[in-house]
Amino acid sequence: RDRIPPLQEGIERARQLTEQLLNLARTQAGTGVGTTVNVSLLARELIAELLPFADARKIDLGLDELVPLTIDGSPEVLRLIVKNALENSLKYTPEGGEVTLRLDADGHRAVIEVADNGPGILDAERERVFDSFYRVPGSGGDGSGLGLTIAREAAARLGGTVSLHTPPDGAGLVFRYQQVRRK
């Protein structure tokens, strides 16, 4: 009985790694073309899906929809990008923290941000975290270091970019996805 919990944890880590490797392979093989994606609806679906995890960690998970947002692309690929950002924020934000999914448009550019008040990532590490299997030293957690690699690859397939920023108040991290809107 003592051996079962560590075995289950190992199996879960292997399952997550396999899922991420499959997502990376699908993203690299895909074209990123699709249809018009209702980002507002996608955001609500992801918030509802991740709310139980946020509640369990006593994290205030919210949506700040500055404009109703639609973009051209693959709904599955965009979902992968935004879900990865939300899961990372929820994983690394301490209990009692805040994570906000923000939708905006800057001129003809769609902007999707996930902002948190967690520990953030040092400027010197911000590009490295997009490298496959890289994890910030001392960050803890049980990730594989593939999530942001997949997000950046997926963003490129959609014609967008992902980047990490320090929030205006200096606490936490902002994950930003930007894509030129054709409309």
- For residue 140, the model assigns a pLDDT of 58
**What are the φ and ψ backbone dihedral angles of 167, each rounded to 5 degrees?**
-65, 160
* Beta-strand pair 173-180/160-165: antiparallel
This prediction's pTM:
0.81
Are the CB atoms for 150 and 23 separated by under 8 Å? yes
5-45, pLDDT tens digit by residue?
Answer: 888 888 877 777 777 677 666 666 665 556 889 999 999 99
35-87, pLDDT tens digit by residue?
Answer: 889 999 999 999 999 999 999 999 999 999 999 999 988 888 899 899 999 99
Q: How far is CA 176 from the centre of its chain?
A: 9
Are the CB atoms for 106 and 56 separated by under 8 Å? no
Residue whose entry in the numeric block shows the structure tokens 């949506």: 63
- For residue 30, the model assigns a pLDDT of 63
Per-residue pLDDT band for 90 (boundaries 50, 70, 90) equals very high
131-168, pLDDT tens digit by residue?
Answer: 766 666 555 556 666 778 888 888 888 889 999 999 98
Among candidates 179, 180, 176, 161, which has minimal Cα distance to 101? 176
- For residue 69, the model assigns a pLDDT of 93
pLDDT at residue 97 tops 70: yes
- For residue 142, the model assigns a pLDDT of 62
- For residue 10, the model assigns a pLDDT of 80
- For residue 29, the model assigns a pLDDT of 62
- Give the rounded percent of residues in the chain with a pLDDT score beyond 70: 84
